[in-house]
Amino acid sequence: IQLTQSPSFLSASVGDRVTITCRASQGVDGYLAWYHQKPGKAPKLLIYSTSTLQTGVPSRFSGSVSGTEFTLTISSLQPEDFATYYCQQLNSYPLTFGGGTKVEIK
């Protein structure tokens, strides 16, 4: 299953509403997760099973789906949110990741 993330690069300001899209080439039965990764660090889980917020993750992060297009929304971008974001499908093998979306400060 191919996951196509868009955009690959995003420039935004603190306080902006940000939306990242992950389109799956076929159905993943809702088993889609979102992570972000800061330089030199391991990825961190934000959302799993399309829309379930991982414990400890701020509520400004949310996930949704329409068909095979999954969306990660950050309602009000904070300084600590500048990072690279990845989606991952865990429905079928081989597991796959999207290509990533780098969110930078405008």
Partner 1 sequence: EVQLVESGGGLVQPGGSLRLSCAASGFILRDYYMDWVRQAPGKGLEWVGRTRDRTGSYTTEYAASVKGRFTVSRDYSENLLYLHMNSLQTEDTALYFCVRVPDSTRADCWGQGTLVTVSS
Residues that bind partner 1 (CB under 8 A): 31, 33, 35, 37, 42-45, 48-49, 54, 86, 88, 90, 93-100
The residue among 12 and 90 lying less far from partner 1, judged by its C-beta, is 90
CB 26 within 8 A of CB 68: yes
The residue among 60 and 100 lying less far from partner 1, judged by its C-beta, is 100
In angstroms, give the least distance from the CB of 11 to partner 1.
19
In angstroms, give the least distance from the CB of 48 to partner 1.
4
The residue among 23 and 44 lying less far from partner 1, judged by its C-beta, is 44
| C-alpha to C-alpha distance for 34 and 85, rounded to whole angstroms | 7
In angstroms, give the least distance from the CB of 105 to partner 1.
20
CB 27 within 8 A of CB 68: yes
CB 20 within 8 A of CB 101: yes
CA 101 distance to own-chain centroid = 8
